Amino acid sequence: MLPKIFMPTNNGGVYLQKVRCGKKNCRCATGEKHEAYYYFHRVDGKLKKQYIRKADLNEFVGEVDFITEFRHRIRYKTKLMKDRVKEIKAEKKARKEAGIKEEPIDWNIPRGMIEKLMKK
């Protein structure tokens, strides 16, 4: 079963580590260590480490990539929205100064969101 990512994280990543399994007679006790993959991420500032089985690795990495990509997109969209709100504010100000009363129609982003941001 795929190990679950319980928290969406800001800075999660999958890393390869060399480890000893602890068995006395294992080759890793004296020689070459085992390779194991871990998912490192922070929860409330604390670094957490989660073991990932090799069989789950590809799927897990895919999920981490998906979450990271998703976060980047949200950040990007938020920036676009904030920029648009700035433009709208500037347009509003310019119209007011020019004595024009009508509202712009080209919102291009959810109206409720803009109104919320405009209040700040």
Q: How many residues does the chain have?
A: 120
Q: Is 21 in the site for Zn ion (CB under 5 A)?
A: yes
What's the closest the beta carbon of residue 34 comes to Zn ion, in angstroms?
5
Chain centroid, CA 87 distance in Å:
27
Q: In which region does residue 49 sit, left (phi positive, over 0), alpha (psi from -120 to 50) or beta (all else)?
A: beta
The encoded tokens of residue 43 equal: 């929860």
**Closest distance between Zn ion and the C-beta of residue 43, in Å?**
29
- State which residue, 21 or 94, has the beta carbon closest to Zn ion: 21
Give the tokens for residue 75: 């950040």
Task: Determine the Cα–Cα distance for residues 56 and 104; give it in Å rounded to an integer.
Answer: 52
Closer residue to Zn ion (CB): 28 or 67: 28
Q: Binders of Zn ion among 26-55, rule CB under 5 A?
A: 26, 28
Question: Smallest distance from the beta carbon of 37 to Zn ion, in angstroms?
Answer: 16
Collapse the DSSP code of 36 into the 3-class scheme (helix H, G, I; strand E, B; otherwise coil) and give the result: strand
* Residue 74: CB minimum distance to Zn ion, A: 42
Decide if residue 117 touches Zn ion (CB under 5 A): no
Positions in the binding site for Zn ion (CB under 5 A): 21, 26, 28
